[in-house]
Structure 1
Amino acid sequence: MKADLLATIVLPLAVSAHFGLNYPTWRADSLAETNESISQWSYPCANVQPMQNTSLQRTPWPLEGGSVSLDLNHHWTYLFVNLGFGAEVTNFNISLNPNGGQLINQTGNGTFCWNQLRVPSSELLGLTITEGQEASIQVVTVGDSGSALYNCADIVFTSNATLLAADQCVNSTGVTAQSVELSSASNATGSSHGDHSGTASGSAASSTSSGAASSLTVSSFMGLLAAGVLVL
């Protein structure tokens, strides 16, 4: 009886600490209990393989970049959105974070949506995105525990794809985000998103980061995430 009660209490807490990928369509619902092998703790994609769900198709995404919508359940979290090319992606080595790939600090529980995260220029990518190019998007969140959670979505670049409509890309009340510039000193300062790299729904916070300060550089921070290991 006590064990059942404990499970009833703990399970909702565990689920609430995770996050949902609303758009593009994620590879699998990693919050569902139907497949015990799926876990958001598992790098790089919650232990879900590309197109594992054969009933789903790749989400069409604009050639220059598209919308990303998340359902977040932490009081605050660091966000990373990464891109990898190919049908069987093994390396998510391209950052879609705005402002040149800066760390994003999101605060508040609920929906957070970028109307458009732009793909870096062909000069930076070293390739030109073409019609029908297959790729996958990886979303990583890091909360106050320092542990990373992962979800992925499979996409196909096409000129026929459109951004989410305005009424489909709306932040929940109290949900904001800002870029965080990490330096060698033990401090972090925030700056609003720049439209040249990505456009977030609603207004971005302008105060300093509410997350834990870190002495890591952005590049080393991303490197630890890419390796699936992170300790703050």
Structure 2
Amino acid sequence: MTIQTSISSWATLVVLLCASLTHAHTVITYPGYRGNNLNTNGTIAEANGLGVAYNTKNGSLYYPYGMEWIYPCGGMPTSTNRTKWPINGGALAVQPGWFPGHETALIYVNLGFGETPENMSHPVVSPFQITGPTNNPYPGTFCLPQVPLPANISVKAGDYATIQVVEVAKHGAALFNCADIIFADDHDPEIQEVTRDNCFNSSDLSFQYMYTTSAIGTSGVAMVKPQSTLLALVPIMVAVFFGSFL
């Protein structure tokens, strides 16, 4: 187990990884993501139209759309290098714009429990929309300084879990990325301090909230129940409040 580096170090790593790639993806910068899944190879024809397919020639896998299209965790296996994360919830920072087409995107955050989670079925924040500066790849991060645990879930120090961030582009494609964590007491000195250097909201990113309305008729799908609307505001409200003191 190691303490993850700051967001600036991760940003440098991502730039180097993406320099030779046609496509790049989202990156969880705090806590550090599961591993390098910035891989796009093969063609759609070679994969027979699938997101992932077996290459019989050399035993490798084709990812014509990129690994991050694969559920769960963008095609990456469980990591043995886990970040300590507070048992009462902690921070999460994401670079959402390393993939073209993400001027607008929906963000979901969920948890899977155990050393190798069977699924990522525990939402921890209400889904929200980001609005970026351009439809081309762009730098910048958003920060949720206090991501809570799901309701009625309790953990103890030493328990394993995985945080999954899902980014849904406007055309409906979803990107998956994960960070493997080990829960620790809130005051454990090995938990990296959250500062404006490793968890911040870039000035060129804005946020929209999902809401429900009856104005579009009964065929409209309610994305968030009316009574949940205020809850949907909490993560960003906390982020803004947190940022004012950094």
Bin of the TM-score, shorter chain as denominator length = 0.5 to 0.7
Cross-structure match for 2:130: 106
Paired with 2:21 and 2:167, the residues of 1 have a C-alpha distance of 20
Q: Scaled by the length of structure 2, what TM-score is found?
A: 0.63
Q: Identify if the C-alpha distance between structure 1 residues 198 and 155 changes in structure 2 by more than 3 Å, giving closer, same or farther.
A: farther
Which residue matches 1:58? 82
Report what 2:204 is aligned to.
174
Greater strand fraction, Structure 1 or Structure 2: 1
**Compared CA separation, residues 104 and 163, structure 1 to 2 (3 A):** farther
8 A contact 1:118–1:198 mirrored in 2: no
Where do 1:64-143 residues align within 5 Å? 64-73=88-97, 74-97=102-125, 102-108=126-132, 109=138, 110-121=140-151, 124-125=152-153, 128-143=154-169
Larger Rg, first or second structure (1 or 2): 2
- Give the Cα–Cα distance (whole angstroms) in 1 for the partners of residues 62 and 240 of structure 2: 34
Of 155, 163, 170, the residue aligned with 1:144 is 170
| Aligned-pair Cα RMSD in Å | 3.2
Cα distance change, pair 48–90 in 1 and its aligned pair in 2 (3 A)? same
Q: What is the distance in 2 between the residues matched to 1:183 and 1:154? A: 37
The equivalences for 1:29-44 within 5 A come to 29-32=36-39, 39-44=67-72
Deviates more, 1:104-113 or 1:143-152: 104-113
Per the TM alignment, residue 27 of structure 1 is displaced from its structure 2 partner at its CA by: 1.1
Query: In the comparison of the two structures, how many residue pairs are matched?
Result: 179
Aligned pair 1:199/2:224, yes or no?
A: no
Q: CA deviation at 1:47?
A: 1.2
- TM (normalized to structure 1)? 0.66
Query: Which runs of 5 or more structure 1 residues have no equivalent in the other structure?
Result: 1-9, 204-232
Deviation track 1:60-90 (CA, whole Å, cap 9, x = no partner) reads: 1011111111111111110011001100112
Unaligned runs of 5+ in 2: 1-19, 42-59, 133-137
- Is the Cα–Cα contact under 8 Å of residues 170 and 201 in structure 1 kept in the other structure? no
